[in-house]
Amino acid sequence: MNKKNSSLSDWLKYIESIHPISIDLNLDRVKIVASLINIKMDGVVFTVGGTNGKGSTCGFLESFSLKAGYTVGLYTSPHIVSFNERFRINGINVSDNDIIDSLYFIDKVRGDISLTYFEFTTLAAIYLFSIKKLEVLIFEVGMGGRLDAVNVIDSDCSIVTSIGLDHVEWLGESRDSIGFEKAHIYRKNKPAICSDINPPMSLLDYANEIGADLLLVNSDFKYSINSNDTWSYRGKYSNFDELPYPKMLGKYQLLNASTALIAIESVSDRLNISYKNICEGILNSFLPCRFQIIKKNPTIILDVAHNAHAAISLAENLAGNNIFSKTHAVIGMLKDKNISEVVKILDPYVDYWYCCSTLGPRGLSSDLLFDIIKDNLKSANVICCSSVVNAFNTSLKNSNQNDRILVFGSFLTVSDVYQLYLS
């Protein structure tokens, strides 16, 4: 590959190929390369981990900061359509050229040190944001926390949104073990936020052990719903009333917004964000495919829910919006997910299942997904389809204007349908 003149697509193929496995949780290699970059971040740094709710919480943090006039960098994963979604500066996806320059720099610095795709891109984001001298920097953890590449950063405020059973092959098979992994993004004497309503003891113990400033939902911050289509926030440092509802649907978005609020409050000595900024930020914050209704008659809903914890929230949304004749679910999931639990949770709200394949080393074929659903839901109406688009088109043919179509199970799955409606 001619690295100087290669496209972003070529670069992404290259960094996918240089490490023998796609997930290799180990900070040793990342720390070495990070030390060679000479990172300098003068802005306020937020690190956001958790099983679900990370992306939305990052989105609120970004929106609040932008409305207050700060320059902001946001690094998230995975993307839905374009890789550039992972790198945002001042609310705009970073250009191919800026990403390529950062990847090129990391490639030169690393020498013969092997990095995974995620490690490589994370270091590129850290480098890019540091040279841009941004005032607020937000990093979303990829998986876990303790050994995730993002944890090479010492943040000013760390957030764990929720702890559910996901990525058990790498993080452990209990909430306690997963909570321990996620808690390692916390830092001594720094705000350490957890918005899980029942955090495992391992997380609490670790935060106390290192002397982090632990802030817990329903203890140090909480929200309540008002009777006039507004909601209120009560925090350790301040209170806000008559807040507008987010554009993103689902009651859990109020929890995500509250989590971002306590985070902003915890660093108020460095960030000045007003009530007006907060209201505007709530209204402005939006992430696609979070219970997003993209069309009506029939109603088409996209949701990136891909584990049992997220399926519970998705089921609540479906139950609260149950005015439809039938529900058709287009589902495609990765093989390392607890698929049987997910479909059992959603079964009461789904009339027809349309199985499609997911690609890549963690992908699952539609026929195996079909078998899993039939084994767990004996009387379910299940259809095996060749692709996401085929499954979606089949569901359209089988539905009428009073039905709803839910597309979910993976970022990969919703991406294909989302792109059909982008224009």
Q: How far apart are CA 205 and CA 196, in angstroms?
A: 15
- pLDDT (0 to 100) of residue 68: 98
Q: 292-420 in CATH: which number?
A: 3.90.190.20
- pLDDT (0 to 100) of residue 5: 77
Among 219, 184, 182, smallest CA distance to 309 is for: 182
3-state secondary structure 227-283: CCCCEEEEECCCEEEEECCCCCCCCHHHHHHHHHHHHHHHCCCCCCCCHHHHHHHHH
Q: How far apart are CA 142 and CA 148, in angstroms?
A: 7
Return the domain boundaries, the chain: 3-284, 292-420
- pLDDT (0 to 100) of residue 360: 81
Which residue stretches of 333-380 are H helix?
339-346, 366-376
Are 373 and 364 in contact by the 8 Å Cβ rule? The answer is no
Give the predicted TM-score (pTM) of the model: 0.92
Q: For the domain with range 3-284, which CATH number is right: 3.20.20.70, 3.90.1170.40, 3.40.50.720, 3.40.1190.10?
A: 3.40.1190.10
Residues 4-40: pLDDT tens digits?
Answer: 678 999 999 999 888 766 676 789 999 999 999 988 8
Residues 210-262: pLDDT tens digits?
Answer: 999 999 999 999 999 998 899 999 999 899 999 999 998 887 899 999 999 99
Residues 89-134: pLDDT tens digits?
Answer: 999 999 999 999 999 999 999 999 999 999 999 999 999 999 999 9
Q: Is 335 exposed, middle or buried (0-12, 13-18, 19+ CB in 10 A)?
A: middle
Residue of 362 and 272 predicted with greater confidence: 272
Within a 10 A sphere around the Cβ of 20, how many other Cβ atoms? 8
Are 188 and 212 in contact by the 8 Å Cβ rule? The answer is yes
